[in-house]
Amino acid sequence: MLGLLGLILVLPAVSSGLEPGGIVGRVIAGEAQRHPVVVFVPGVPGQDARATGERPVMDQRNRSFGPHVLPVGVGTTVEFRNSDPFKHNIFSPDGERYNLGTWDQGQSRTYTFRRAGIYRQLCNIHPEMLAYILVLDARAFVLTDGEGRFELPAVPAGRHTVRVWGEKLTPAQLARGVEVMVAGGKVTAVEIDLRPLNR
């Protein structure tokens, strides 16, 4: 059994009430935390990229996808760019299964994700290339930094389950969640410890 819930603190903010709160914390997962981990709250609304006019971008540069992991909400349109001086392709065998074709440097394609899931991003010209787009039925999500730290602002007050996804996490780790009580106008700090208890 994995020990997920290490510490939960409620830190005062400038005001209280039914206004949104926030969640900050750290994911501890050993070697797995060296890779990007997505922290998200299923079903919780947050900042919608479609409303702000910001469009997430996945770029192909130096025969690599950047970023390696891109979390987005259902309904988000992602722009795929080619910054290399040669042709690239993008396709995914997962979920909706798409192939955006082949294009040259400086060109781009877009795709709107309408179904939640994990989508591998592949190039049929360069088989060594791999990235992930995690499409979530949520708007409250963020990538951890190099130390496993994260911050989720503007989370509605109430009880929520915080979940994680990472390329190197085991099925048992992915299946677990941490329950957090968010108070309006306050920040809840949580440590998500994915290491085995018998370590």
- Per-residue pLDDT of 125-152, as tens digits, reads 999 999 999 999 988 999 999 899 999 9
**Which residues have C-beta within 8 Å of that of residue 51, sequence separation ≥ 6?**
none
* Pairwise CA distance, residues 32 & 53, whole Å: 33
* Pairwise CA distance, residues 166 & 170, whole Å: 9
Residue 139: per-residue pLDDT? 81
Domain span at 161: 5-46+140-193
* Pairwise CA distance, residues 197 & 2, whole Å: 6
State the CATH number of the domain containing residue 154. 2.60.40.1120
For residue 146, is it within any domain? yes
Give 19 or 97, the one with higher predicted confidence.
Answer: 97
Residue 32: per-residue pLDDT? 73
**Given 104, 121, 136, which residue is the final one in a domain?**
136
Residue 52: per-residue pLDDT? 53
For residue 199, is it within any domain? no
Write out pLDDT tens, residues 60-100: 999 999 999 999 999 999 999 999 999 999 999 999 999 99
